[in-house]
Amino acid sequence: MKRLLWLGVGVAVGVVVVRKLAKTAEAMSPGGIADRLRETAVTAGDSLRNFMADVSEGMAEKEAELQDALAEGRPIGELLEDPYDDHDDSGMGGTIR
């Protein structure tokens, strides 16, 4: 009975190892590498598309703000400032009005 138990454990471990090796061999084959590269390219393309959509949306919002300010005769200097720039390193200072 003890030998039968160890035989079962050995068979189970053998099956797991063989499946793992087959999966690794497939991943290292030219087809597996091509699949990974294709997935990476698709992911990068999606990321780039999302980034460009965000940039376009931000540009459209900023353009609408500028158009509204110009139509109302308000100064646009604050709208042209970089919201992420905490200080002015140019030494020029001033505000566009």
Tens of pLDDT along the chain (97 residues) come to 889 999 999 999 999 999 999 999 988 899 889 999 999 999 999 999 999 999 999 999 999 999 999 999 998 888 888 777 766 555 555 555 4
Q: What is the pLDDT of residue 51?
A: 97
In this structure, the dihedral spanned by the alpha carbons of residues 8, 12, 18 and 23, taken in order and rounded to 10 degrees, is: 170
CB distance 95 to 77 below 8 Å: yes
Angle at 11 between CA 9 and CA 15, to 5 degrees: 115
CB distance 91 to 97 below 8 Å: no
User: In this structure, how many other beta carbons lie within 10 angstroms of the beta carbon of residue 24?
Assistant: 11
